[in-house]
Structure 1
Amino acid sequence: MQAKTAEEDSVDQRVRRRLRELRTQRGLTLEEVANRSSIDVSTLSRLESGKRRLALDHLPRLAAALSVSTDDLLRAPDAEDPRVKSSSHTHHGVTYWPLTRQGPASGLHAFKIRVSARRRKPPEELPVHEGQDWMYVLSGRLRLILGDQDFTVKPGEAVEFSTWTPHWFGAVEEAVEALAIFGPHGERLHLHTS
């Protein structure tokens, strides 16, 4: 039995990574790809995990199962662009610039926000929703109402609070810039409702 060369090892690893990448991009299960390629699901699982060595006859069947060419299966996976590319949204006097990708609904999302100097009057009924909000003021003074308490948050100060408490934020005088982290419920409330 011969030892694998470094080149064989890197091709094997590349195909395994590419196989998993293409399968998940297409939303396919191991079982679906196994059925399409006529490869046993346990064999496919071991191929992806590196517990089984890739054979040449696997390549065309896997490529066909994933609707790609064999060359596409052999090439290195694309390097993901780490930059977050999303446009801003303005809602009720607050502009939100996303700083994180919009991933699973259960995830936290970070934003740079700018609160208009005209946003000074809280609504008659303060919103309440599931979750936790966090803000760090970069410039200006932020007015934060939590239940019966009224706070002024200055640059360099951070706040974290349960959104089960009736709450609202606005500007004291000039526009406010801050970093904010919202859970999915807070993100929906701040970006899509009153």
Structure 2
Amino acid sequence: MRNLEAVDARLADRLAELRVERGWPLEELAHRSGISRSTLSRLERGEISPTAALLGKLCEVYGRTMSRLLAEVEDEPPQVLTAAAQPVWRDEESGFVRRSVSPPHPGLRGEVVESTLRPGADIAYDAPPVPGLEQHIWVLEGAVEITANGRTHLVEAGDCLRFRLWGGSRFRCQGPGPSRYAIFVVLP
């Protein structure tokens, strides 16, 4: 089994565990997340991989960042992560690639994520997984239009946008090439 398939299988198991821990039937989770019962069932059985948007909605319902959820399905991370050991997650449908450069770790409140959006990619999240989540977004290549807390910013290579997220957010690749940026997340 490829590493990606193993992560997807553990993610499916973890999503089912989170729902069961709360004592929710699929119908309750569907109501809370806005995701259909059939899609949730297929996600939990590992028949489909979640898109970034679906995973964002589930993270919101469960009060977790995406990094925290993905870290829960990985082995305990070492102190030094080589580039080859950093977990990479892809959402082919939206054109989003996420590398967990410095994943969550017990006792640490921050993490670093490298994200890449292909040209035309547009990802929206209804709400933050954790209200008040502090983010510093440093664009490494290209340009990204970022909407956070109702304000839209064009962030170009070398620029850094920083904020605490209380509302929805949106990331749109601007320009003819891909956009690559680092997100520094600090949990409240």
TM-score (norm 1): 0.46
TM-score (norm 2): 0.47
**Per residue, is there more strand in 1 or in 2?**
2
Q: Which has the larger radius of gyration?
A: 1
